[in-house]
């Protein structure tokens, strides 16, 4: 018997179950507000369990602990077992078919929904998985039953401005699912680590298709083309910056940084105006913490200029282009 605390909302015309798992720091009431939009006709009975661990620094809960060594596999497997038992119990109590259940979740809960649906050794698979801004462990190491997963449609949604789980992570996850022939719809939205009205509307349409017995699938859209400022990583920094034959302007930034967003168009303008004389690149300090540490980036936005492999000058904070150029020791262009 499952010991998870559960919030149950049964639609007026409920014909199947939806498991709706909240994200880190939330609780069993968090996603209930989505139901009038996800399921306006009341076709689902939504079971929303509370995660079993307290989430440090928040009033809510976490599905599994995350330490410096990563996810505790014992806790991760244990909570999957608990959720599996919960779904069995709710289907039996309400008289719903186990293979018509939809697993859905946000962030940690979305990663669990995917793992619960696709892990090996499961007798009955769900009708589909709705993964909203998923925090998903390395799916290639989880022992998924990829053959069975080819019959499980997935809607994967993510924000292009997500400061907690970069959109590149979601794109990689989508690529893995697609490579294993999972029926996948992958969509991106101009949002952070949250849920937008447009994403909910797309989820509702996808749920209607699942209820109709369809397995929606589409090609993964190409990521938007990169602008005049290219991204460098720890791996490419030596070649692109330190060994560059021309001076390099480096924008140290992060997606959650509002002043960085204000400064972005100015950095783009400098890249266009100085093309051929300067190279302009950017470093996401969340994804490249080693570079941030190496160059003592303690506040952002920080713009640095490298010449002949050496850091020459820095400018901290958002400011007008002429002031930025002057602080970097560049000839100011009116």
pLDDT for position 64: 87
What is the rounded average pLDDT for all residues in the chain? Answer: 92
- Respond yes or no: is residue 260 known to be catalytic: yes
pLDDT for position 69: 66
Spelled out in words, what is the top-level CATH class assigned to the domain 230-327? alpha beta
- Specify which of 73-77, 160-164, 196-200 reaches the highest per-range mean pLDDT: 196-200
Give CA–CA dist 318/262, Å, rounded: 7
pLDDT for position 236: 93
Give CA–CA dist 153/130, Å, rounded: 9
DSSP assignment string, 220-287:
PPPPPPP-SSEE--HHHHIIIIIT-SS-EEEEEE-TT-HHHHHHHHHHHHHHHHTBTTBEEEEEETTT
pLDDT for position 127: 98
The boundaries of every CATH 3.40.50.1820 domain in the chain are: 6-211
The pTM of the full predicted model, rounded to 2 decimals, is 0.76
pLDDT tens track for 102-153: 999 999 999 999 999 999 998 899 999 999 999 977 766 778 999 999 999 9
Share of the chain above pLDDT 90, in %: 78
**Banded pLDDT at 22 (limits 50, 70, 90):** very high
pLDDT for position 1: 66
The boundaries of every CATH 3.40.30.10 domain in the chain are: 230-327
Pick the catalytic residue from 129, 142, 257, 267. Answer: 257
Right CATH for 6-211 from 3.30.930.10, 3.40.50.720, 1.10.10.10, 3.40.50.1820: 3.40.50.1820
HEC letters along 186-235: EEEECCCCCCCHHHHHHHHHHHHHHHCCCCCCCCCCCCCCCCCCEECCHH
Residues 168-193 have a mean pLDDT of 94
- Residue 74 predicted with pLDDT over 90: no
- Respond yes or no: is residue 91 known to be catalytic: no
Residue 51 in 3-state DSSP?
Answer: coil
**Banded pLDDT at 311 (limits 50, 70, 90):** very high
Pick the catalytic residue from 260, 280, 285, 304. Answer: 260
């Amino acid at each position: 018997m499952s010991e998870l605390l559960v919030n149950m909302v049964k639609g007026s015309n409920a014909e199947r179950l939806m498991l709706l798992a909240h994200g880190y720091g939330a609780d069993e009431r968090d996603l209930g507000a989505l139901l009038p939009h996800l399921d306006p006709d009341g076709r689902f009975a939504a079971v929303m369990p509370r995660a079993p661990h307290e989430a440090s620094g928040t009033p809510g809960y976490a599905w599994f602990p995350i330490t410096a060594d990563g996810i505790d596999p014992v806790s991760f497997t244990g909570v999957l077992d608990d959720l599996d038992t919960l779904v069995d119990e709710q289907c039996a109590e309400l008289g719903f078919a186990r293979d018509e259940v939809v697993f859905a979740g946000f962030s940690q809960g979305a990663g669990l929904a995917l793992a619960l649906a696709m892990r090996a050794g499961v007798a009955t698979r769900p009708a589909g998985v709705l993964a909203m801004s998923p925090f998903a462990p390395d799916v290639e190491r989880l022992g998924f039953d990829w053959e069975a997963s080819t019959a499980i449609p997935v809607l994967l949604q993510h924000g292009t401005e997500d400061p907690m789980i970069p959109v590149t992570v979601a794109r990689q996850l989508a690529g893995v699912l697609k490579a294993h022939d999972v029926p996948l719809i992958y969509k991106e939205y101009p949002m952070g680590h949250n849920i937008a009205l447009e994403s909910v509307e797309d989820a509702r349409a996808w749920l209607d298709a699942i209820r109709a017995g369809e397995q929606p699938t589409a090609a993964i859209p190409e990521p938007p083309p990169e602008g005049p400022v290219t991204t460098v990583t720890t791996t490419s920094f030596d070649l692109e910056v330190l060994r560059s034959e021309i001076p390099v302007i480096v924008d140290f930034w992060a997606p959650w940084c509002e002043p960085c967003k204000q400064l972005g168009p100015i950095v783009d303008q400098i890249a266009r105006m100085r093309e051929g004389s300067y190279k302009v690149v950017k470093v996401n300090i969340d994804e490249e913490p080693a570079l941030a540490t190496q160059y003592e980036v303690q506040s952002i936005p920080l713009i640095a200029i490298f010449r002949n492999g050496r850091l020459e000058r820095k400018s901290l904070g958002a400011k007008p282009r002429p002031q930025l150029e002057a602080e970097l020791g560049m000839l100011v262009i009116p």
